[in-house]
């Protein structure tokens, strides 16, 4: 009996670090070690696409897809959120330092740049474009704003762009200036499954961050400082 009581006491003392099965054996609480890797995609204007590994687009402190098999193309990088990372997409700020300048080799008008949050219920998206407001987009699949003059912008130099979901309000910003906002009460993005940054042509990304929008705490950061390799840090 004393042996049984000792086993139970040991489990209770270490309750914050371990869990106990019915047979009184204590096991470590699982720790998430998965970080995830960035994947790149090139797309043509005819619906064709090809995916590439991070080794082909992370170099010199930036992520940039500049080796498309097509002269007129779209590019994107995405990070699938590891299943063990529990991130509420309705309480998150997605922040990216990016540029897509007109005078860069391979640049393509209208110099689009977009951020995406994919949840298990819906997805949120902001689409900036240089000249034609009818191709702007902001919101969820089930509730959105289009044809917005506020989303006309050319990212000639690096700017910090963000997409935030908080208290059923979706907000987009360039640096600290709000560009659009939308109340999506009655809808839900859900658990975050993937983040994505896209461009028309070969846009550049300096870094990516994810925050908890309610507490301000940093959840994830990627600086692209290791050539040819994803270095996603979770907190």
The tokens 């959105």 sit on which residue? 144
Closest by CA to 76, choosing from 121, 127, 152, 36, is 127
pLDDT digits 0-9 by tens, 173-213: 999 999 999 999 999 999 999 999 999 999 999 999 999 99
Cα torsion 101, 107, 112, 116 to 10°: value is -90
Confidence of residue 7 (pLDDT cuts 50, 70, 90): very low
Tell me the average pLDDT across 115-139.
98
- What letter would DSSP give residue 225? -
What confidence score (pLDDT) does residue 227 get? 98
All structural domains of the chain, each given as residue ranges with its CATH number in brackets, are 38-234 (2.60.120.200)
Pull the structure tokens for residue 158.
């690096």
Which of 14-18, 60-64, 170-174 comes out lowest in average pLDDT?
14-18
The per-residue pLDDT of the chain, averaged, comes to: 91
Rounded to an integer, what distance in angstroms lies between the CA atom of residue 191 and that of residue 133?
31
What is the rounded (10 degree) CA torsion for 233, 171, 190, 192? -20
Cut 0.85: pTM above it: yes
What the block records as the tokens of 70 is 């097509």
pLDDT for residue 27 = 52
Q: What is the pLDDT of residues 27-86, one digit of tens each?
A: 555 799 999 999 999 999 999 999 999 999 999 999 999 999 999 999 999 999 999 999
Q: Which two tokens stand for residue 71?
A: 């002269």
Whether 2 has a pLDDT exceeding 50, the answer reads no
Residue 145 makes CB contacts below 8 A (sequence gap 6+) with 137, 138, 139, 180, 182
Q: Residue 134: how many CA atoms within 13 Å on its side-chain side?
A: 0
């Amino acid at each position: 009996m004393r042996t049984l009581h000792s086993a139970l006491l040991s489990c209770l003392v270490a309750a914050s670090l371990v869990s106990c099965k019915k047979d009184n054996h204590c096991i470590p609480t699982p720790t998430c070690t998965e970080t995830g890797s960035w994947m790149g995609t090139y797309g043509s204007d005819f619906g064709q696409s090809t995916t590439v590994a991070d080794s082909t687009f992370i170099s010199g402190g930036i992520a940039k897809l500049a080796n498309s098999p097509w002269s007129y193309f779209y590019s994107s990088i995405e990070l699938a959120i590891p299943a063990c990372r529990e991130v509420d997409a309705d309480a998150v700020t997605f922040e990216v330092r990016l540029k897509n300048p007109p005078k860069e080799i391979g640049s393509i008008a209208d110099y689009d740049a977009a951020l995406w949050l994919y949840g298990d219920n819906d997805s949120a998206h902001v689409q900036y474009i240089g000249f034609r407001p009818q191709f702007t987009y902001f919101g969820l699949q089930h509730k959105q704003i289009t044809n917005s003059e506020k989303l006309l912008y050319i990212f000639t130099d690096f700017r910090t762009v963000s997409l935030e979901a908080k208290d059923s309000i979706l907000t987009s910003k360039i640096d600290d200036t709000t560009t659009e906002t939308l109340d999506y009460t009655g809808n839900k993005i859900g658990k975050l499954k993937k983040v994505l940054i896209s461009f028309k042509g070969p846009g550049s990304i300096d870094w990516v961050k994810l925050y908890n929008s309610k507490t301000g705490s940093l959840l994830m950061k990627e600086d692209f400082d290791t050539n040819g390799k994803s270095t996603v840090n979770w907190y």
